Amino acid sequence: MAISMPVLPTRRQGLWLAALLTAALCGWTAWREQDDGASSASASNAAPHRRAVPAISPAPGAAVISAGADGLLERDPLVESKTDLFRFVSFQPPPPKALPPPPSPPPPAPSAPSFPYRYFGRMVDVDGKTVTYLARGDALIPIHVRQLLDNTYRIDAVTETQIVVTYVPLEEKIMIAVQTGN
């Protein structure tokens, strides 16, 4: 037993069928318009009079509009607008408000003045102890640990490579490099 499938029209057959239906509908519509025009003409000849429409009376208290001598309607004069209708309108956001000036930066932290002494050298005295000298101007000053210079600078450490000095008012340390010789 074989199952038969319905035969579908081809694309060309479908287009011809659509064109034929379109032409038939156009002809039928034109034929109906001709018939409607003929029947409406006979109906207008049969009823030559118009139907009367009752006049509508204005509501009590309503303003009556009357035509002037030139046939134009009279009306109240226009009221002046309080705003300019043609003013420039911008949709840009308003400019930012001026910011107050930033606060002045805090004053710099106090620092120690430049060290007025310079390293002069070392010497081994008669007892075999090494003595380190600093110079200020033409004066040579022998130094040792925990010594105060001018009641302002304290010698904290003396080593072969550096001298550590503290500026007493600020407790700021100053490192002085020591040159070692042969």
pLDDT in tens, 6-31: 666 788 899 999 999 999 999 999 88
Tell whether 172 is covered by a domain: yes
Residues 148, 150, 152, 158: is their CA dihedral positive or negative? Answer: negative
Tell whether 18 is covered by a domain: no
Tell whether 153 is covered by a domain: yes
Tell whether 109 is covered by a domain: no
Tell whether 68 is covered by a domain: no
pLDDT at 34 over 90: no
Domain count, the chain: 1
Tell whether 137 is covered by a domain: yes
Of residues 121 and 181, the one with the higher pLDDT is 121
Q: How many Cβ atoms from other residues are within 10 Å of residue 48's Cβ? A: 6
Strand, coil or helix: 27? helix
Residues 150, 154, 160, 162: is their CA dihedral positive or negative? Answer: negative
- Kindly report whether the global pTM for this prediction surpasses the value 0.85: no
Beta-bridged to residue 155, according to DSSP, are 165
Q: Give the per-residue pLDDT at 88.
A: 86
Task: Work out the percent of the chain whose per-residue pLDDT is above 70.
Answer: 76
Tell whether 129 is covered by a domain: yes
- Domain that includes residue 151, residue range: 118-177
pLDDT-derived band at 56, boundaries 50, 70, 90 = low
Tell whether 126 is covered by a domain: yes
